Amino acid sequence: MTLKGKSAVITGSNSGIGLGVARELARAGADVVLNSFTDLPEDHALAAAIAAEFGVRARYIKADMSNGNACRALVDAAGGCDILVNNAGIQHVSPVESFPAEKWDAVIAINLSSAFHTIAAALPQMRKRGWGRVVNIASAHGLTASPYKSAYVAAKHGIVGLTKTVALETAQEPITCNAICPGYVLTPLVEAQIPDQMKTHSMSREDVIKKVMLERQPSREFATVEQLGGTVVFLCSPAAEQITGTTISVDGGWTAL
C-alpha cells in the first residue's frame, strides 16, 4: 500500500518505538514530522536521513509533551496531520505511598494528557481533509498491571479509554482511532540495560533476556520497532477502515495469560 500524500505526526520519535514507527510510515510513502523535547543537530539529522532514504518530506519539531499548549502547537506547526501517532512517554517506578507527586503529574501529563491535546488539535484538520488515523501507543500495561508502576498503568489505561471515546465520536466519519499495546520492545534503551542485568544476575545475554526481562512475555522474544511500525501502517490501510476503538496487542502473548 502507499500513504503518499499523507502527513504523519509522531510524538516522542527521535529514538526507539517512535522512530521505528516514523520510518515505517515513511517507507509507505507518508511525509513525517518527528518530535521530542530536545532541539539538537542530530534530531534534525534524523529527519534529513529519513527524507533522503525514503524520498518523502521529513521534519523535526521540538515540543514539550508535558505542556498542553505545546502539544497543540506541534500539530498546528506540522501544517497538516492525516495520521497522528501518540507515542511520547516516560516511566517512574515506586510504591504508591512513596510515589513522588511531581513524578505522578509528569507521567500523567506526558503519557496521557499529551494525547488528549494532540488529538483535539488534529481532529479539525482530519475533518477538513476528509480522512484521518489516530494511533495511540499504549502498552500491555493499558490492559493489565504491575506493582510499583501506578502512574504508568493509570496513564496507559487512560489512553485505552480515550481511544474508545474518540472512536465513538468519529465513528460516522472517515477517521479511526485505535491503540497498540506493546509488550517489551527491543529499543536502544532496553538494549543498554542488558549488560548490567547480565552482571547483576550472573547470566548469559540469552538467559537474561528470556528468564529476567521477558519473564512475563510468553514468546520469550522482544517485539521490534519495525513490527510496531508495520502495525501502524496496517491501521492506516484500507483493510483497517472498520477497525476503530479497539486495542491491538503486540506482546508475545503477555495479555493472554
Concerning whether 152 is annotated as a catalytic residue, the answer is: yes
Catalytic residue among 60, 148, 152, 184: 152
SS (H, E, C) the chain: CCCCCCEEEECCCCCHHHHHHHHHHHHCCCEEEEEECCCCHHHHHHHHHHHHHHCCCEEEEECCCCCHHHHHHHHHHHCCCCEEEECCCCCCCECHHHCCHHHHHHHHHHHHHHHHHHHHHHHHHHHHHCCEEEEEECCHHHCCCCCCEHHHHHHHHHHHHHHHHHHHHCCCCCEEEEEEEECCECCHHHHHHHHHHHHHHCCCHHHHHHHHHCCCCCCCCCECHHHHHHHHHHHCCHHHCCCCCCEEEECCCHHHC
Residues taking part in catalysis = 152
